[in-house]
């Protein structure tokens, strides 16, 4: 049995706001004080809120929920 943690939209919005982020009209994570500035992963990819898997501790590195991004995250956490 898989353990899956999911967050409601309100919870995701709360977490993003704690980091000074929000989403734009297209669902991308952006800077709250400049909604034209989309946040990017460490590989330079823009992140949609529905793809957001993590924000690495001690930084504002956003991690997408696709397999290559999650593998990179687990490698970095070793």
Residue ranges of the domains in the chain? 9-77
* pLDDT tens readout for residues 38-66: 999 888 999 999 988 887 766 677 888 88
pLDDT classification of 36: cutoffs 50, 70, 90: very high
Burial of 69 (0-12, 13-18, 19+ CB in 10 A): buried
What is this structure's pTM? 0.72
CA atoms of 36 and 29, how far apart (whole Å):
10
């Amino acid at each position: 049995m898989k353990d899956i943690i999911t967050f409601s939209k309100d919870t995701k919005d709360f977490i993003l706001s704690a980091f000074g982020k929000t989403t734009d009209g297209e669902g991308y994570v952006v800077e709250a004080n400049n909604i034209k500035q989309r946040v990017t992963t460490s590989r330079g990819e823009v992140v949609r809120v529905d793809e957001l898997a993590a924000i690495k501790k001690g930084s504002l590195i956003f991690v997408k929920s696709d397999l290559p991004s999650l593998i990179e995250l687990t490698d970095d956490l070793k």
